Amino acid sequence: MALSFDDGPDPVWTPAVLEALAHARARATFFVVAEQLLEPGGLDLLSAILAGGHRIEAHCARHVAHDEQDRAAIQADVEKLLGALDDNLGLRPQLWRPPYGRLNDPHSMEVAEQVGLELVLWTCDPRDYRNTPWEAMLQEVKSTLDEDSVILLHDSRRYAHDTDSAANTVALIEPLVELVRSRGYDVGPLPVPRSRRLGPVCRHG
């Protein structure tokens, strides 16, 4: 089962998420945003993500849905993010999760092919960006969990409209990992790369 976090790095919530993951002895994939990582302290947070054994992959430069942009804007956005990761950390992502999981067909796939990224989404969205109580999110995950699950969470609330707190996301991590392991599954980052097939399309992210 893959655990993933979007929208960071965040100076408050990314460290809290990393601490909870360390306590749970679990690793995850972080889909990062260029305008976040280029702010003061952002690169240090990415270094902390890597030091924890987690994976960093591509989200966006600005958090704008692909279906609100033309092909040139989508390409310019992802190239800005890739350049920031390469120039500052020497990182080359392999996975790309579009904001909100929304695509501009066929341009998103065409750009992904051109820049050498695999588009990925998720299978389970407990809607943590609404600051849903962690107990309710755990129940949501229970009904869909299997060995191929990809769970979507967020380590920043910069793009959420309902709350600026990720406290329930942080509280969810340890009981979620315990639940996954009680089902006999392992917890880790997304495999890279597995296929060119896009996962289930969801409306949030």
Rounded to 5°, the CA angle 131-57-136 comes to 20
> Looking up tokens 């993010």, which residue turns up?
81
SS3 assignment for 104-163: CCCHHHHHHHHHCCEECCCCECCCHHHCCCHHHHHHHHHCCCCCCCEEEEECCCCCCCCC
If you search the block for the tokens 């910069």, which residue do you land on? 158
In this prediction, residue 41 carries a pLDDT of: 97
The residue type found at 112 is A
pLDDT confidence bin for 147, thresholds 50/70/90: confident
CATH second-level architecture of 2-182? Alpha-Beta Barrel (3.20)
SS3 call for 62: coil
Q: Which of 198, 190, 36, 29 is nearest to 103 (CA)?
A: 198
Confidence of residue 32 (pLDDT cuts 50, 70, 90): very high
pTM of the predicted model as reported, rounded to 2 decimal places = 0.93
Identify the pLDDT of residue 197.
Answer: 44
Angle of helix 42-51 relative to helix 13-24, nearest 10 degrees, comes to 10
What confidence category does residue 27 fall into, taking pLDDT thresholds of 50, 70 and 90?
A: very high
The residues, any chain, with a CB within 8 Å of residue 151's CB and separated by 6 or more, are: 1, 2, 3, 4, 122, 123, 124, 126, 141, 176
Which tens digits make up the pLDDT trace of 164-198?
999 999 999 999 999 999 999 999 999 876 544 44
